[in-house]
Amino acid sequence: MFANILLAIGLVCIIEGLVYALAPSLIEELLEALRNLSLEMRRTFGLLVLVLGVCFLLAARALGAG
Protein backbone atom coordinates (compact mmCIF):
# COMPACT_ATOMS: atom_id res chain seq x y z
CA MET A 1 0.00 0.00 0.00
CA PHE A 2 2.75 2.44 0.98
CA ALA A 3 4.65 1.55 -2.21
CA ASN A 4 1.59 2.44 -4.29
CA ILE A 5 1.29 5.81 -2.56
CA LEU A 6 4.96 6.54 -3.24
CA LEU A 7 4.50 5.48 -6.86
CA ALA A 8 1.52 7.79 -7.28
CA ILE A 9 3.31 10.75 -5.69
CA GLY A 10 6.38 10.09 -7.82
CA LEU A 11 4.32 10.03 -11.01
CA VAL A 12 2.60 13.29 -10.09
CA CYS A 13 5.99 14.90 -9.43
CA ILE A 14 7.33 13.70 -12.79
CA ILE A 15 4.33 15.05 -14.69
CA GLU A 16 4.37 18.37 -12.81
CA GLY A 17 8.10 18.71 -13.35
CA LEU A 18 7.78 18.04 -17.07
CA VAL A 19 5.10 20.70 -17.43
CA TYR A 20 7.19 23.31 -15.62
CA ALA A 21 10.37 22.31 -17.49
CA LEU A 22 8.89 22.14 -20.99
CA ALA A 23 6.20 24.85 -20.94
CA PRO A 24 6.68 27.39 -18.14
CA SER A 25 4.93 30.16 -20.09
CA LEU A 26 1.91 27.91 -20.55
CA ILE A 27 1.63 27.63 -16.76
CA GLU A 28 1.46 31.42 -16.52
CA GLU A 29 -1.30 31.52 -19.14
CA LEU A 30 -3.20 28.76 -17.34
CA LEU A 31 -2.96 30.61 -14.03
CA GLU A 32 -4.24 33.79 -15.68
CA ALA A 33 -7.16 31.88 -17.20
CA LEU A 34 -7.98 30.38 -13.79
CA ARG A 35 -7.79 33.83 -12.21
CA ASN A 36 -10.47 34.99 -14.65
CA LEU A 37 -12.89 32.21 -13.65
CA SER A 38 -15.34 32.72 -10.84
CA LEU A 39 -14.77 30.96 -7.54
CA GLU A 40 -17.75 28.68 -8.18
CA MET A 41 -16.40 27.67 -11.63
CA ARG A 42 -12.98 26.85 -10.13
CA ARG A 43 -14.65 24.78 -7.40
CA THR A 44 -16.74 22.89 -9.97
CA PHE A 45 -13.67 22.28 -12.13
CA GLY A 46 -11.78 20.97 -9.10
CA LEU A 47 -14.59 18.58 -8.21
CA LEU A 48 -14.76 17.30 -11.80
CA VAL A 49 -11.01 16.64 -11.84
CA LEU A 50 -11.34 14.88 -8.48
CA VAL A 51 -14.09 12.60 -9.83
CA LEU A 52 -12.04 11.94 -12.97
CA GLY A 53 -9.06 10.94 -10.83
CA VAL A 54 -11.17 8.55 -8.78
CA CYS A 55 -12.53 7.01 -12.01
CA PHE A 56 -8.97 6.52 -13.29
CA LEU A 57 -7.97 4.82 -10.04
CA LEU A 58 -10.99 2.53 -10.13
CA ALA A 59 -10.33 1.65 -13.77
CA ALA A 60 -6.66 0.92 -13.06
CA ARG A 61 -7.62 -1.28 -10.13
CA ALA A 62 -10.17 -3.14 -12.27
CA LEU A 63 -7.44 -3.76 -14.85
CA GLY A 64 -5.20 -5.32 -12.21
CA ALA A 65 -3.01 -2.46 -10.97
CA GLY A 66 -2.04 -2.23 -7.32
Asked whether the predicted pLDDT for residue 66 surpasses 70, the reply is no
pLDDT band at 2 (very low <50, low <70, confident <90, very high): confident
CA 48 to chain centre: 11
pLDDT of 21-63, one tens digit each? 999 999 999 999 999 999 999 999 999 999 999 999 899 889 9
Closest CA to 52 of 37, 25, 23, 44: 44
Q: What is the pLDDT of residue 65?
A: 80
Q: What is the pLDDT of residue 54?
A: 92
